[in-house]
Amino acid sequence: MPAAPPPKTCLLQFRNCRILRDHKIYRDDLWVRAGKIINPEKIFFDERIVADIQVDCNNSILTPGFIDAQINGACGVDFSDVDSDVTEGVSTVAKHLLEHGVTSFCPTVITSPPESYHKILPQIKRSQGGAEGAGVLGVHLEGPFISKAKKGAHPEVYICDLENGFSDLVDMYGNLDQVSVVTLAPEYPRSEEVIKECVSRGITVSVGHSMANLVQGEEAVCQGAGFITHLFNAMLPFHHRDPHLVGLLTSERIPKDRTIFYGLISDGIHTHPAALRIAHRVHPDGLVLVTDAMRAMGLPEGTYSFGKQSVDIKGKTATLTGTDTLAGSIARMDVCVRHFAKSTSCGNVLALEAASLHPAQMLGITKSKGTLDFNTDADFILLDDSLQVRATYIAGQQVWVADDVTLRETSLQEA
């Protein structure tokens, strides 16, 4: 069971651990107070105090909590299900994600009619997270402004173009205050207006489910788009005369002060290990692991609904009923991290940063999430050498711990 939360003024020292910080893993202690990571020099030289509580981390790797920027649901919950209690569903998934090492996520809503968005979106609010579950970073709207030719598992009947520019988004979604990411096809004629307006509002624009060529992709990035939705999936494949959106990874038209980030579903189904290796070796700094998980994650094989459609789960694969079209994944984030590390031999640092630092950079939230820098939120996880999650912390509070793990806490004030 998670430990009782310490008082807000309590000074915590996590010791006997190896910390991921500044692209390296090295032995050090982590100091936490009031939910933030603090600089120990202030403690040693200014306050001249010792920790209230020391936590023995059993030689674990201590890394920033994972961030899933694209997850459609889990454990029976579908964020696109307009007939469900979305608020309760988000809470259910948030709690479930803690054992995967996920401390923050973007609930993702796939292509739906306007009335569904208008009912669903007001029920999803940003949150810090805690013992009740992982924090919500805002909604990822994947559609409906995508290509019918690359719709994947999205219902074609609801797919729209951008005939009227940004006003189409407002009419479709309603209030955008809780939106963090919008996936759209950049080949639509008025996409430039939409991209620029979204970016001005702090919304990350992702290109995906698209028939765009490389030039159209480059123009979208120059206009402000910063992400590619599940690279290799639901887009034109790489071709030596036009590499399409995949070519953005090596484009020389990307502004020098910009990084193009791209999602990868490293579940052993969506992306071949050779493709994972290609992406890693070509553009490691932009790599963002996402699960693209749907409601059957954590459930047995069977048939489930996904938005307005039916999905069959067999083994590790989710497909639209009666087809071989992939319909999201059922993979956990920690599984994706381990599969990526094994498939690419990239090392633990990059595999872990692809699920923490990089999504935080893509979302523009590194001042609070995705790192163990001083003054950031104390959202972190403990892992063993095989990258199995052993415990999860949000704001310095233990919110999940494996059944076979005991982390000894010592109160130095009582000693």
Question: In this structure, are 356 and 397 located in the same domain?
Answer: no
Question: In this structure, are 172 and 311 located in the same domain?
Answer: yes
Q: Is 234 annotated as a binding residue?
A: yes
Say if 324 falls within a structural domain.
yes
What DSSP character marks residue 329?
Answer: B
Q: Is 240 annotated as a binding residue?
A: no
| Low-confidence residues in the chain, pLDDT < 70 | 1-8, 413-415
What is the number of helices (H) and of strands (E) in the chain? 10, 22
Q: Is 415 annotated as a binding residue?
A: no
Q: Is 395 annotated as a binding residue?
A: no
The DSSP H or E segment spanning 48 is none
Return the structure tokens found at 162: 């951008």
Say if 54 falls within a structural domain.
yes
Which residue, 179, 169, 210, is CA-closest to 79? 179
Q: Is there a catalytic annotation at residue 292?
A: yes
Per-residue pLDDT, 415: 47
Distance of alpha carbon 328 from the chain centroid: 14
Domain count, the chain: 2
Say if 3 falls within a structural domain.
no
Per-residue pLDDT, 5: 65
Say if 248 falls within a structural domain.
yes
Whole-prediction pTM value? Answer: 0.96
Q: Is 142 annotated as a binding residue?
A: yes
Question: In this structure, are 338 and 281 located in the same domain?
Answer: yes
Say if 352 falls within a structural domain.
yes
Domain of 59 in residue numbering reads as 11-64+377-411
Per-residue pLDDT, 413: 63
Q: Is 298 annotated as a binding residue?
A: no
Per-residue pLDDT, 42: 85
Per-residue pLDDT, 346: 97
What DSSP character marks residue 130?
Answer: B
Which residue, 288, 384, 297, is CA-closest to 66? 288
Which is it for the CA torsion 327, 333, 337, 342, positive or negative?
negative
Q: Is 153 annotated as a binding residue?
A: yes
Q: Is 351 annotated as a binding residue?
A: no
**Cβ-Cβ contacts under 8 Å for 99 (sequence gap 6 or more):** 389, 392, 400, 402
Q: Is 390 annotated as a binding residue?
A: no
Question: In this structure, are 316 and 259 located in the same domain?
Answer: yes
Domain of residue 45, CATH code: 2.30.40.10
Q: Is 296 annotated as a binding residue?
A: no
Helices 214-223/191-200 angle, 10° precision:
30
Question: In this structure, are 166 and 210 located in the same domain?
Answer: yes
Question: In this structure, are 99 and 114 located in the same domain?
Answer: yes
Say if 372 falls within a structural domain.
no
Per-residue pLDDT, 304: 87
Which residue, 340, 349, 359, 358, is CA-closest to 277? 340
Return the structure tokens found at 57: 């981390």
Question: In this structure, are 40 and 106 located in the same domain?
Answer: no
Question: In this structure, are 37 and 186 located in the same domain?
Answer: no
Question: In this structure, are 59 and 145 located in the same domain?
Answer: no
Q: Is 149 annotated as a binding residue?
A: no
Domain of residue 332, CATH code: 3.20.20.140
Per-residue pLDDT, 3: 65
Per-residue pLDDT, 6: 67
Question: In this structure, are 195 and 240 located in the same domain?
Answer: yes
Question: In this structure, are 205 and 224 located in the same domain?
Answer: yes
Distance of alpha carbon 381 from the chain centroid: 15
Say if 121 falls within a structural domain.
yes
Which position among 68, 81, 168, 292 bears the catalytic label?
292
Question: In this structure, are 57 and 93 located in the same domain?
Answer: no
Say if 5 falls within a structural domain.
no
